[in-house]
Amino acid sequence: MNFFQSIILGLAQGLTEFLPVSSSAHLVFIQTFFGLNPSEMISFDVFLHFGTLLAVVVVLREYLMRITKAIFSFGNSNRTQEQLEERRTYIKLFWMLIIGTLPAGIIGVVFKSKFEEIFSSTYAVAVFLIITGFILWITKYFYNGDRKENNLNLKQTLLIGFAQAFAIFPGISRSGSTITAGLVQKLDKKFSAEFSFLLSIPVILGATVLEVKHIINLNAPQLLLIKFLTGTIAAFLSGWIAIKFLIKFIERNKLYLFSYYCWFIGILVIILKHSGI
């Protein structure tokens, strides 16, 4: 892998992690195009995911600060009723994020090796990307919700969590499936996107921790680590842009338009695969 490839992969990861077109699918396609073995790029992928994690933290820093403040603030005697209600809301949101992470965390750990095998099949990834297109198309009919963090409940959280677990399949967009699950359950458009992005934090952290051992044992030369860092910076910058763009796009009820892209790329890859190209 050269510097050009690491930058392209980083940009692709950042954009497609949050745009609902499946980052895993695009990484597999691009790595295959470059002649790289996706199954041997897992450590590099973790670096790229860490870059997108930093993008979420920067863009949603106010949410994260409110949650942190709510968790570590003690004593209620000097607070107004409004302040107490806000603290309860963000403590509840913190626990909902934990609960929403559990399905993907459990399934990811138990079936990790199986999912890694699927990553090696561009045909399977293309099929799942087409399925993502149908998931996104559903949002065309669900865009009038008004539920926000103050009335998010356990049922909604679990359904979004299972949607995130389904996105472990390469080709199924994590952001697309979780945002769609939120919109179907009448969540506010902007909050549905923000909750999806917040929900990615523990998932990406978990994936990073699971691969730390591989990275430590990599014994990679300094030049390769610099390439990893270059890709990480590219993923951070493109991820930052993607989050900002998608939130505005969702507010305009246009998320379903990404379905055309998913169908086109998925069908194109299948055709190329059958043509032996």
The per-residue pLDDT for range 15-56, each reduced to its tens digit, is: 988 888 887 778 777 877 877 765 556 677 778 888 988 999
Using only C-alpha atoms, the chain has a radius of gyration, in whole angstroms, of: 19
- Rounded Cα distance between 6 and 44, Å, is 9
Among all chains, which residue has been given the structure tokens 């107004």? 80
Helix residue spans in the chain (DSSP H) = 3-18, 23-33, 42-59, 61-72, 81-110, 112-118, 122-138, 154-166, 174-184, 189-216, 222-251, 258-275
pLDDT of residue 238: 94
Burial class (CB in 10 A: 0-12, 13-18, 19+), 234: buried
Q: How many C-alpha atoms does 123 have within 13 Å on its Cβ side?
A: 6
How much is the mean pLDDT over the chain?
83
Domain range list for the chain: 3-275
CB of 26 within 8 A of CB of 12? Answer: yes
Among candidates 46, 3, 34, which has minimal Cα distance to 224? 3
Higher pLDDT, 103 or 29: 103
CB-CB neighbours of 258 under 10 Å: 23
Name the burial class of residue 138, with classes exposed (0-12), middle (13-18) and buried (19+) by CB atoms within 10 angstroms of its CB. middle
CA 23/CA 263 separation, integer angstroms:
15
Indicate the length of the chain as a whole number.
277
Residue range 158-178, pLDDT digits in tens: 999 999 988 888 888 889 999
